[in-house]
Structure 1
């Protein structure tokens, strides 16, 4: 699979350097030169797999970009900054960053941390996902319950995958809407409830795995969890 990496940094030379590294590692770099462009690019494309995010950027800084994206998505994010003190590193992790690298960085250390997240992304997109009686073969896009295949359309399949990969976690309607329908979807947010109802019906007794969380959204879990 092609891994798309959004690289947001206002330093043109440094951004190009990171882009070259990303290309050499077999991934596709996509550039943003400020915080506004980073947000717009991420939500407009809707298929970014990993973000490398500089802290000190114009319009919106890295912390603001991180906070905004985390309202909708759990995409892996590496924070880059020249502010190499412990306080900033702790702030990055508290705000949802997956890793934090200080500038200037060791090439080998950067590659190791970058590839750790890339390998995790690839694994999540190819491994079978099993929750209770439901088995999802991601390579074949095939869903079975007790070895009986379940016929799902594209949106239902994506919804089930998103639920299963976040089993035990409350997902808001806003998060679900962004991940499945995209940031520019102009329809009614209640379309989520309609699709969840249909998905529950197709999953038969396993439809009970999808719990409604009043005032928030949904949570997916096997009753045994």
Structure 2
């Protein structure tokens, strides 16, 4: 289930958008301002953000810039502004799409699904990076047509990172997503599995690399 962050100081709008997205099967998190939104992003893995422009404390343009510094997720700006200068400012800040209020509910859903497909975050069963092929349903990994059998957690870790290419995840986020909240081990478990994946694919594939982001965690970089 994909998680979408909705940021708007208007509680009515947050409630409306949340209801629309939940009907489509999304998990939705709400924030009333940019500061709260950034705190949520540090704790939760979100696949897309819907951001209002006119907000106190931090407006949508500034929030979009802040999100772009650390997260590679699609962003839709919501606004009552329709001037071309405002749209230009929105795209310059890093947004991927722009929706004018009031909007048709179906149009919002269309745009959300289109962006998720464009970013490859639609939970596709098959992932392909050059010669690397991952079939998440069959737990199959191939490189240059040669199959490799991975232990379950190594496969889960590789598939998860590959589903979110170039996005950085902390060790605690990976533990929560792949081992669960009731996991009693420590975060070094992630380091061990990352090391094994690197050793396993070293010299086999140059289509991707698992990078260590010092002080944060790991990211699968598509080369």
Question: TM class by shorter-chain length?
Answer: 0.7 to 0.9
Structure 1 equivalent of residue 32 of structure 2: 33
Counterparts in 2 of 1:36 and 1:56: CA distance versus 1, 3 Å: same
The answer to whether the 8 Å contact 2:161/2:220 transfers is no
Cα drift, residue 33 of structure 1: 0.9
Aligned equivalent of 1:220: 222
Contact in 2 for aligned 1:55/1:63 (Cα 8 Å): yes
Give the drift of 1:203: 1.1
Q: Which one of 110, 113, 121 corresponds to residue 112 of structure 1?
A: 110
Tell me, in whole angstroms, the C-alpha distance in 2 between the residues paired with 1:107 and 1:20.
Answer: 10
**Residue 54 of structure 1 pairs with residue 52 of structure 2:** yes
2:177 aligned residue: none
Among 168, 180, 185, which residue is 1:176 paired with? 168
Distance 1:181 1:208, change over 3 A: farther
Secondary structure at 1:136 match in 2: strand
**TM-score using structure 2 length:** 0.72
- 1:187-211 per-residue CA deviation (whole Å, 9 max, x = no partner) reads 89xx98x876643320143244446
Structure 1: runs of 5 or more not aligned = none
Q: Which runs of 5+ in 2 are unaligned?
A: 175-186
Count the aligned residue pairs.
Answer: 207
Q: 3-state DSSP class of the match of 2:28?
A: strand
Q: Who is 1:6 aligned against?
A: 5
Q: Is the CA contact (8 Å cut-off) linking 2:9 and 2:55 kept in structure 1?
A: yes
TM-score (norm 1): 0.72
